[in-house]
Structure 1
Amino acid sequence: MKQTILFTFLLAFLSIQPGMGQTASIKKGVITDSIPVGSEGTESMAVFLPRDFTMEKQWPVLFIFEKEGRGRQAIGMFQEAAEKEGFILAASNNVHDSIAIARNILLTNRMIDQLTGILPVNPKRMYTGGFGTGGQLASLVPVFLPKLAGTIVCGAALPTLEVLNDKKPFYFIGIVGKRDFNYPALRKTMDELDRKKFPNHLYVFDGGNEWPPKPYLEKAFQLLTVQAMEDGIIPRDESFLRQSYDYQLIEIRQQLQQNQLLNAYSQMEDLTQAYGKLIEMDSLKDETRRLKKDSRYRAQRREEKNTFFQETLRREDYEFYLEEDIATYNYNNLGWWKFQMETLDKLEQKDSDQSRDMAARLRGYINAYIEDYIMIVSREENVDEEALLLLQMLKTITEPGDPQYYLAVISQSAKLDDYGTALFYLEELLKTGYREKEVLYNLEHTALLRITPEFNRIIAEYFKDARYEIIEE
């Protein structure tokens, strides 16, 4: 089906006719959702165009991936940086982490073909991006679709290094919080990319498993533009290069002042790789060599290696005991898990930044690991109710501030007619300060539990009154 574009300068929007009578308007400066992909009408994408978009030139585009196929939400996190740096954004509403990678690749390819057929996209400046699980998928897509030149991955590492093809390198830009449990894996990814001669850059910010601050996304977009200049895809812009380089240097200076020498050194090496063929960098190279010999840098490097080693051992313990406990329904080991969380509490009180960061990463890791397990068990055709209950109990230990898992244990225990456990977790929940009375009286599977004197006695103790009268025999 022939695709056409009508560009109206007065209204500043694009009118697109993808086929079969379907039309959509793409307005500049805002996100346009539900743009049909293909002629079947079963797929769609969201698109963002910068305010200064024009049909008169070719534009770079970042295809963004979100684990639940929420295109508008995915684009929203990149929108400000894309506006500033002049990138088109697009995201499929059908790509999802629950479907096979092969199907996701096919969906992505159709989205790319659709977008390049209706907008003036530079075919050599197409990239992927995403956060978390979406970031993992974004990092894999260029492996299977070589027409994509690079990726911006936030809070995730390449799921497997074996898929990399030395003959088809792409630019990998990672952004991660130093307390994110993905940080060690992303470091390992970067080391492997270095070995395979893949261009790469790692930004580390002060945070956990969360979206990075906007400046990091802006810098990532700038690196993609710098790479395009180095490859001769777009004209060299001396003013842009100098301003971009100076912007990148700001963080290095801050890290040096804050004695974050490992991250500063990594940034120096990456900047040399990114800008070395375009501008004079002798001073930065000299500074990098001096830092490498600095005793403080060497001490931090030794401490980090030791920390990563200890972290790996703890992770292996968590994985082993979790699988054993679930396989044997070992409720007796809940005390061991409580001790592990208390150990992390102590680590977070230490003076060492490395110890505190490791504790935060380990806490994030075990919570994510249990959540994945809950999702897997819940999706089984015949749900293992006992395993699900134990996993929910574990979450009240590893993440005691989240009421949803106490509520889940109460509901699941009542479903299994274990009212003693349900009442225990009800009181434990209320001790945390939880006061959503109506939620408690409407919990699934608790119809009989809610009318018991024991349930209402606990409710009356914390809420001053209960829905049902307590009759003492």
Structure 2
Amino acid sequence: MKKTLLFLFISTIAFSQTREPKAGELIDFVPITASLDTYAVYLPVNYTPEKQWPVIMVFDASGRGKLAVSRFREAANKYGYIIAGSNGIKNGTYQENLNIARSFYSQVLDNYSVDQDAIYLAGFSGGARLATTIAVISKHVKGVIACGAAFANNDAYIPKKNSFLFAGIVGDEDFNYREMTNSEDYLDKLKFDVDLLVFSGGHVWPPENYITKAVRVMSLKSMTRNIIPRDESAISKYFSEDMQFNKELINKGAMLVAYNDIQDIMKNYRFYVEKDTMKDRRKEIKRSKLFRSQRNDQYYINDVESAFYMDYMTYLPSDINSGELESLAYWEDEINTLNKEYVNSANLQKQKMGKRVLSFLNVLPTELEEKYNENNGLDNLLYINIFKTLANPKDYSAYITVMRYTVTKGEYGMALYYLEKMLDNGFKDTERLNNEDGIALLRIQPEYNELLDSFGLKTMY
């Protein structure tokens, strides 16, 4: 059996090595020498090995190399970049991921005609933190495109000096939105050349046109810093594309975002373009009533949002640690208030802030969960999972976990209560319930089967 597996592995590598990527083709799995890891790669349509090309190496927190690379395909073709995305990076320890990244990095440089003075990194979520970490500890990375997160939670991996370019991209409903704006302020104080792009959405890979803009900004700044050769016709093209991108923001009514964008355009093109055109655009935006309204809303939200995070990060860990279920009534009221006053508000800025804060309340308990185990922290884990059902009534995994813990504690009435709540919120996968070992004693209760039957679902008994 071992010989068969070894043969299959060697055969897979041999086959993959015969599939050399072609210009304009995205390859999903390219093997890394002496490793089980692979990467995805895309060569721009005009790629030729006779020329050296800048490269962007991309990290997705779930090892989705193909997805990550596909987001950069338009930029690769427009601005001439090799794009490679690791399939091995996952949300794990930094030491593990740094070792994986080191092999991936070396393989890409060996396999393609790369300009080793023009190496860039990019990533999403934990992959963005990894990209910034590598840029901090490496002398060879010229820039980072960080999507949905900025820095690692380790002082040694946080930038301390202006040694690389930085472009951040974040959704305006992302729970890391405030982190990204704070990171921009931090880097500004260090005199970093930093841009932050904000799109409409949550904690997901940004739309392709935002990634293309980030690569465009990186290309322009690299020319300014003589990292890549200066090309006046390319700069003129970049400027036209950036002004069109800005116009599209205005057309969508995103006036505050458009204002911040034109400010960045004025900064980035100060050596190349007379300011009058950009000043006229800025005046056009500032005269808009919608801009003034959005700006005033933002002032209010900046004050309020930070207070929410500070309170939640102080009180939720304490309540989880106590494991007293009575305090969940407070959190239920708090979540209901968030939904009523913010998520369901007629004011768009308040809506988006509400969604960010609610998303944060979905993520924070999962991070705190790692501290506990079922042997000596069952009450704490029960608290966390009940909280999850309050923050997201469609989190069926949390309901099932609550049922499993309450059955373990012999509290069948509570288990049935959360089963009913889950069914009320649209759960219909009885097969999943049938296969859940931890609730076997609940399934034989008459009330369990009566409850499923009342919702028109098939029962086992």
**Band the TM-score falls in, shorter-chain normalisation:** 0.7 to 0.9
Closer, same or farther: CA 115–422 of 1 in aligned 2, 3 Å: same
Counterpart for residue 347 of structure 2: 352
> Counterpart of 1:119 in structure 2: which amino acid?
Y
Q: Does 1:425 align with 2:418?
A: yes
Secondary structure of the structure 2 residue equivalent to 1:187: helix
Question: Aligned pair in 2 of structure 1 residues 211, 461: CA closer, same or farther (>3 Å)?
Answer: same
- Residues matched between the structures, number: 444
> Matched residue of 1:264: which SS?
helix
Distance 1:91 1:328 in 2: 43
Q: Within the alignment, does 1:132 sit opposite 2:125 as a pair?
A: yes
Q: Which has the larger displacement, 330-339 or 89-98?
A: 89-98
SS in 1 for 2:438: coil
Select between 151-160 and 117-126 the one with higher mean Cα deviation.
151-160
**Cα offset, 1:426, TM superposition:** 0.9
In angstroms, what is the RMSD of aligned CA positions?
2.8
Contact 2:132 2:146 (C-alpha < 8 Å) held by counterparts: yes
1:450 pairs, out of 423, 443, 446, with 443
- Say if 1:322 and 1:121 are closer, same or farther in 2 by CA, change over 3 A: same
Structure 1 regions of 5+ residues with no counterpart? 1-18, 469-473
Q: Which amino acid aligns with 2:355?
A: A
Supply the AA of the counterpart residue of 1:267: D
The alpha-carbon distance between structure 1 residues 279 and 106, as it changes in their structure 2 partners (threshold 3 A), is: farther
User: Could you tell me the TM-score, scaled by structure 1's length?
Assistant: 0.85
Which residue identity lines up with residue 183 of structure 1 in the other structure? Y
> Corresponding residue for 2:200?
206
Contact 1:392–1:406 at 8 Å: present in 2 too?
Answer: yes
Compute the TM-score of the two structures, normalised by the length of structure 2.
0.87
Matched, 1:51 2:66: no
Equivalent of 1:177, from 149, 171, 176? Answer: 171
- Taking the TM superposition and a 5 Å limit, the aligned residue runs for 1:67-78 are 67-78=61-72
Q: Distance in 2 between matches of 1:443 and 1:52?
A: 53
Aligned to 2:362: 367
Moved more, 192-201 or 278-287: 278-287
- Cα offset, 1:58, TM superposition: 0.9
Equivalent positions of 1:207-286 (< 5 A) are 207-257=201-251, 259-285=253-279
Percent identity among equivalent residues? 31
What is the distance in 2 between the residues matched to 1:120 and 1:64?
17
Structure 2: 5+ residue stretches without partners: 1-12
Instruction: Using the TM superposition, give the Cα deviation of residue 147 of structure 1 relative to its aligned residue in structure 2, in angstroms.
Output: 0.5
Go from structure 1 to structure 2 and tell me whether the alpha carbon gap of 1:405 and 1:139 turns closer, same or farther (over 3 Å shift): same
SS at match of 1:386: helix
Q: Does the 8 Å contact 1:31/1:49 carry over to 2?
A: no
In structure 1, C-alpha distance between the alignment counterparts of 2:415 and 2:235, rounded to whole Å = 63
Measure the CA separation in 1 of the matches of 2:37 and 2:108: 13
Q: 1:70 to 1:399 in 2, by over 3 A?
A: same
Instruction: Give the Cα–Cα distance (whole angstroms) in 2 for the partners of residues 174 and 438 of structure 1.
Output: 43
What's the offset of the Cα at 1:291? 5.8
Other structure's SS at 1:445 match:
helix
Runs of 4 or more off by more than 4 Å in structure 1? 19-24, 289-300, 380-383
Q: CA contact under 8 A between 1:230 and 1:278: conserved in structure 2?
A: no
SS in 2 for 1:151: strand
Judge conservation of contact 2:430–2:458 (CA < 8 Å) in 1.
no
Match of 1:267, SS state, is helix
Whether contact under 8 Å (1:202, 1:266) holds in the other structure is no
The corresponding residue for 1:403 is: 396
- Aligned mates of 1:193, 1:176 — CA distance in 2: 16
